[in-house]
Chain A
């Protein structure tokens, strides 16, 4: 099993490297000259050229790439064009904020999704199943800003029970922060619920139809015991992988939700960096979320291997 983990890690690093290449060269396509963008249209060409030289953007692409990558490995993510300051503090602060929001969403949606999926599977074909399935599916594909707006209108404007802004202000208490984060978390919960519930449902149905479930029932075990002891541990295995891969959608969702609620998270940061052509910030941000995603999938793969006896141990004797 250790070899598997190492292999996965190796593959992940390769993918990471590919990612860095894609990010770097993709952002080179961004039109506009950084020096010009910073100094504005009225600046003298010589000043622009000097700044460009200082920023190092007039060197060959491969050299720039190499500088960037080696800098990254030393923890230097570059200097923001917009803020003229190192990128790291912005990124880390934004990351922390996003993690708070994402964590809240996950804490709500994972148990809810699993419960919904299992309940739907146990009521296969009946009303409860159809409602959960269709509702889950619909919730998943309604864009976050749409549900966000409806939520803002209902809870923020009409009923005025929850704060509309996501930021509680600096130094606010945990409870207050939580209160502010609820509205932005809900659209994320809605989108993720569908995926998780669908996976849990499919896994549970497969387990219910299996021969070993039949064996368990015909042993005379109570239904609740069969579900708890035999079904769940087999049905939830694939769900775990899904949860980790949801990080991708989650991050996309963060971009939307943070923009709508004007929350200083990493999604918002990337968006602003793209529109203001702040390449170092953009590249660093995109790379960071790529890393987060790959770590999540790695953990999911390893977890799946550990929990599945077939993969953990050898084959037939």
Chain B
């Protein structure tokens, strides 16, 4: 007998508390998680050990071997200054990963604190912060980010701060929603009846319950951070030459793309794509495990 009719998607399970942290074992059983984590691990290794792994010096310009198509000597070919693209791709993992991870961490910590305050304290804090958040979000993050970078100058530190700043309201919004759900629960009333002060309630009572949401936000934002960092580099507001950076390299070489010189932009592009997809696979697995 098959399920001939539209059975509900819900499944009878043991009642699970909301917001439990993922069961690590369940996570490891998923092929999507393993694939994503493997790719991620590869790029992290490249970020840390890139200079040792790369076959050639990514900064070495060989002016006699410029614009060479992929060959045995240069697996990914050379760019307009004769630099080995393969080595640049390997080493380029570092800048994008470092900046993205720290930017996301900054945004998550600040956003969580802000979201907790907005959600629990409510009132004037919530309304005021809410208006400002909405005003900032009325502009595309990318635009806000590059406006600041034009003003401040693109150094890795400023990029981290700018992206972190721009993520804070987004993450705050999600945390705030999670906090509002918790506010309906009676355990907060119990805490008030014990005479707990507001800081205790926010950080000891509420925060552990929204951590799962925060974790998911972190992984999702990490993907967007990479997206944004790469895009900023592409626009020329990222890491500056001659440091190897995927986005910056694309920025430097996309002009000759219509002329048929595809390898110096395609491989960094594929690297970005693979990193982003890897993060998504991991995020998706975490969400799947939390949902079950």
Instruction: Give bound CA distance, A124 to B265, whole Å.
Output: 38
* Residue B231 at the chain A interface, CB threshold 8 Å: yes
Distance to closest chain A CB from B232 (angstroms): 10
Stretch at the interface among B71-79, B86-94, B270-278: B270-278
Distance to closest chain A CB from B17 (angstroms): 19
* Residue B52 at the chain A interface, CB threshold 8 Å: no
**B260 & A248 in contact (Cβ 8 Å cutoff):** no
Number of interface residues of B (CB under 8 A): 52
In chain B, residues 262-292, which have Cβ atoms closer than 8 Å to a Cβ of chain A?
A: 262, 265-266, 269-270, 272-273, 276-277, 279-281, 283-284
* Residue B210 at the chain A interface, CB threshold 8 Å: no
| Binary CB contact string for chain A from 283 to 315 against chain B (1 if under 8 A, 0 otherwise) | 000100110011000000000000000000000
How would you classify the secondary structure of chain A's contact residues: helix, strand, loop or mixed? helix
Stretch at the interface among B54-62, B102-110, B146-154, B197-205: B146-154
Number of interface residues of A (CB under 8 A): 64
**A142 & B276 in contact (Cβ 8 Å cutoff):** yes
**A18 & B147 in contact (Cβ 8 Å cutoff):** no
Instruction: Give bound CA distance, A150 to B262, whole Å.
Output: 9
* Residue A55 at the chain B interface, CB threshold 8 Å: no
Q: Do A143 and B254 contact each other (CB < 8 Å), given the known contacts A22-B136, A271-B235, A294-B138?
A: no
* Residue A103 at the chain B interface, CB threshold 8 Å: no
Q: Of B9, B135, B151, B273, which one neighbours A124 at CB under 8 angstroms?
A: B9
Spell out A's residues near B (CB within 8 Å): 11, 14-15, 18-19, 22, 26-27, 29-31, 121, 124-125, 130, 133-134, 137-138, 140-147, 149-150, 152-153, 156-158, 164-165, 205, 208-209, 213-214, 217, 223, 226-227, 248-249, 251-252, 255-256, 259-260, 270-271, 274-275, 277, 282, 286, 289-290, 293-294
| 27 cross-chain CB contacts under 8 A | A22-B135, A26-B148, A27-B147, A27-B151, A121-B9, A125-B9, A134-B280, A138-B280, A142-B227, A145-B230, A146-B250, A147-B273, A150-B270, A153-B262, A164-B258, A165-B258, A213-B8, A217-B6, A226-B6, A252-B140, A255-B140, A271-B146, A277-B150, A286-B139, A289-B143, A293-B139, A294-B138
